[in-house]
Amino acid sequence: MDHLELDELDWQRLTRYVSGRSSSEERARIDSWAATDSDRRRFLDRLRQLWEASAEPSAAVPDELVDADWRELQRKMRSVHPVDPAPDRPAARHERRHERRRERIRPGPAISLLVILLLAFAGVLFVVRNESGDRGAALQEVSTERGERARIRLSDGTMVRLNVSSKLTLPDRFTERRREVTLQGQAFFEAASDPDRPFIVHAGAGTVTAIGTAFDVDAYEPDDVAVVVSEGKVALQSHRRGGKDSVHVARGRLGRVTGGQELHVHTVEVDRALAWLRGQLSFDATPLRRVAARLERWYDVDVNVIGPELQQRRLTATFDDESLSVMLDVIAAAVEAEYDRDGRTVTFRQ
């Protein structure tokens, strides 16, 4: 059937033909092409059927639902305040776009934290304003519960993806000199480029300074902070040595503060380290004790590992978006352990 040997241009002609967009000349040419061969005729007929069938609407929203959804929207509409347009607009198009970008993310009273979408097993995202923060500036907080992640766009264009059970604290406004945030837990930052204002993340025992780059900070354990750089370069500083100790971490490298002050840098498989961004759980010779902590945050469960020897057994695996029970079965088999589960409590034993 497909001995017709059609190239891309032929397909464009055929598409025009079945959609009735061909010129009369092109149409006549295709008709005569089909007329000489029954296979071609059948092929053309079927293509036309396919084209026609593809217009079938896929799913309908019933009228009652449209009514209900409109009423729901109306309720929400009445509780939002309209955003005012900017007064002046430059004439040149690219400048205007630029201007609009600024206008859109104009801080207003609070850094306009646009929490784009939050998807969770359950729970809510908290944006808390704390008027009496330190450095004289008001602070804002975004936090996620276990099993919950958030994407946050900051006023400077920086994009933050906050992993489960994490908290990001930031000032009400960034200053002209620096953009500083504080992280507990884990987040991936795509810092907007601004050479005059470094982007600084305070995380446990470490401080990460970036200028327009993309990096992940894991500070679930405040004394053991890891930075993985997927673009550009950052400086990692350990806090507790008077701020003198600092290393550069380049793309594809992992920088780590251990024991609250020791700095190490080594090469890392970035894809695996950032698997959480794709909704995957990835372990690389991770001791079961740590695997348990990650499962707790990921699935909002309590995981106990009985026995020091078992706690040290290591797991290397990458899981797609699996259910907890699948995950537990695989892990138990891999580390040769048994587990039992009682509601939200899981116990691994020998």
Partner 1 sequence: MGAITAHLSSGLAPSARTWTDTCMMTDARPGLHQDEAVRQVRQGSEEAFERIFRTHYPGLCAFAAGYVCRMDVARDIVQEVFLKIWERRKCWRVRTSLKAYLYGAVRNRALNHVQSAWTTRTTVMEPHSTSLSEPRSPEDELHYKELADAVRRAVRRLPERRRTAFVLHRQQGLSYGEIADVMGISPRTVEGHISKALKHLRESLPIVLTMLP
The binding site for partner 1 (CB under 8 A) comprises: 1-2, 6, 8, 11-12, 14-16, 18, 46-47, 49-61, 65-66, 69-70, 72-74, 76-77, 80-86, 89, 96-97, 100-101, 104-105, 114, 116-121, 147-149, 151, 153, 159, 277-279, 320-321
Considering only CA atoms, give the Rg of the chain.
Answer: 28
Closest distance to partner 1 from the beta carbon of 58 (Å): 5
Nearest distance in Å: CB 164, partner 1: 9
Beta carbon nearer to partner 1, 8 or 342: 8
Cβ contacts of 99 within 8 Å, gap of 6 or more: 86, 88, 89, 90
Q: Min. distance of Cβ 156 from partner 1 in angstroms?
A: 13
Cβ distance to partner 1 smaller for residue 100 or 314: 100
Q: 10 Å Cβ neighbour count for 112?
A: 14
Q: Which C-beta is closer to partner 1: that of 49 or that of 350?
A: 49
Nearer to partner 1, 153 or 313 (CB): 153
Distance CA 213, CA 199 (A): 9
Cα(146)–Cα(160) distance, integer angstroms: 17
Q: Which is nearer to partner 1, 53 or 333 (CB)?
A: 53
Distance between start and end Cα atoms, the chain: 60
In the complex, the smallest distance separating the C-beta of residue 60 from partner 1, rounded to whole angstroms, is 5
Q: Nearest-CA neighbor of 253 among 222, 214, 284, 227?
A: 227
For every residue of 100-147, DSSP letters joined together read HHHHHT--TTS---EEEEEEESS---EEEEETT-STTS-EEEEE--TT
Nearer to partner 1, 55 or 285 (CB): 55
Nearest distance from C-beta of residue 26 to partner 1, angstroms:
13
* Cβ pair 139, 133 in contact under 8 A: yes
What one-character-per-residue DSSP string does 84-112 give?
PPPS---SSHHHHHHHHHHHHT--TTS--
Q: How far is the CB of 65 from partner 1 (least distance, A)?
A: 7
Alpha carbons 187 and 126: distance in angstroms, whole number = 16
CA 346/CA 337 separation, integer angstroms: 12
**Burial status of residue 178 (CB atoms within 10 A of its CB: 0-12, 13-18, 19 or more):** middle
3-state secondary structure at position 236: strand
Q: Are 51 and 18 in contact (CB under 8 A)?
A: yes
Of the pair 156, 262, the CB lying nearest partner 1 is at 156
Q: Residue 35 or 66: which CB sits closer to partner 1?
A: 66
In whole angstroms, the minimum distance from the beta carbon of 54 to partner 1 comes to: 5
CB of 345 to partner 1, least distance (A): 21
